[in-house]
C-alpha cells in the first residue's frame, strides 16, 4: 500500500504479538544516517513497547544499504535471531547508482528470505528526494521503523513453531 494512503506508524496494538521471548537483530546502514537513525529509533522503541527485552535487541551497523544483504545473510546463518530487520535509505541522485543499489539490495534480501530460516524484514526506503525520506522516518507519513518492528513480531509469531 502506498504510504501516502497509510501512515507507517498506524497499527492496531491488539494484533501485535508479545515479543518478550524473541531475540531480534536490527542491521542499519550508516549512509543517510539522519534518516536511518530515526528508522532505527522507531523500530527499537516499538520492539520495546511490545515486550522485547532490551538485551534481546542486537543492533549492527553497515556502511551502506548494499551491505545490508551480506550482514543479513551472515546473521541469518547463525540461527541466533527470531527475526532480522534490515534498515537503509537510498535517495535518487544524478546517476543510475540509485537503481543498482535499490535493485541489488532488494534482490539480495529477497533471496535470503526465500532460502533462510529467519525472516528478514525489508526496511529499505527508496526515495526520490530527502523530503520523501524524512516523511517516512517519523515525519508526515509515520516511521517505517515502527512498521518493520510490527512486521517482525507478526512474522515470528506466525512461523516460530512451524517446521520448514
Does the active-site annotation cover 6?
A: no
CB contact set of 119 (below 8 Å; sequence gap of 6+) = 83, 84, 113, 152, 155, 156, 159
Quick count: other Cβ atoms within 10 Å of Cβ 41? 16
Residue 1: band (very low, low, confident or very high) from pLDDT cuts 50, 70, 90: very low
Confidence at residue 164, expressed as pLDDT on a 0 to 100 scale: 42
Q: How many CA atoms lie within 13 A of 12 on its CB side?
A: 2
Distance CA 26, CA 85 (A): 5
pTM of the model: 0.93
36-85 per-position pLDDT tens digit: 999 999 999 999 999 999 999 999 999 999 999 999 999 999 999 999 99
- The CATH classification of domain 23-159, taken from the options 3.30.380.10, 3.40.50.960, 3.40.50.720, 3.40.190.80: 3.40.50.960
Single out the residue of 126, 40, 128, 59 nearest to residue 89, CA to CA: 126
Distance CA 153, CA 44 (A): 12
Confidence at residue 149, expressed as pLDDT on a 0 to 100 scale: 98
Candidate list 97, 99, 140, 160, residue with the active-site label: 97
As a whole number of Å, the CA-based R_g of the chain is 15
Q: What is the mean pLDDT of residues 1-21?
A: 79
Residue 4: band (very low, low, confident or very high) from pLDDT cuts 50, 70, 90: low
Distance CA 90, CA 164 (A): 33
Amino acid at each position: 500500500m502506498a504510504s501516502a494512503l497509510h501512515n507507517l506508524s498506524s497499527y492496531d496494538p491488539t494484533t501485535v504479538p508479545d515479543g518478550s521471548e524473541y531475540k531480534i537483530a536490527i542491521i542499519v546502514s550508516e549512509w543517510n544516517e539522519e534518516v536511518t537513525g530515526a528508522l532505527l529509533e522507531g523500530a527499537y522503541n516499538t520492539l520495546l513497547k511490545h515486550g522485547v527485552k532490551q538485551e534481546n535487541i542486537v543492533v549492527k551497523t553497515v556502511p551502506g544499504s548494499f551491505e545490508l544483504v551480506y550482514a543479513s545473510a551472515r546473521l541469518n546463518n547463525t540461527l541466533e535471531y527470531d527475526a532480522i530487520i534490515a534498515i537503509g535509505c537510498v535517495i535518487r541522485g544524478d546517476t543510475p547508482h540509485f537503481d543498482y543499489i535499490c535493485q541489488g539490495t532488494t534482490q539480495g534480501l529477497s533471496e535470503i528470505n526465500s532460502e533462510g530460516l529467519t525472516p528478514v524484514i525489508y526496511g529499505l526506503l527508496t526515495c526520490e528526494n530527502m523530503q520523501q525520506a524524512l516523511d517516512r522516518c517519523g515525519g508526515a507519513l509515520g516511521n517505517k521503523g515502527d512498521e518493520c518492528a510490527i512486521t517482525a513480531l507478526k512474522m515470528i509469531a506466525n512461523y516460530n513453531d512451524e517446521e520448514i
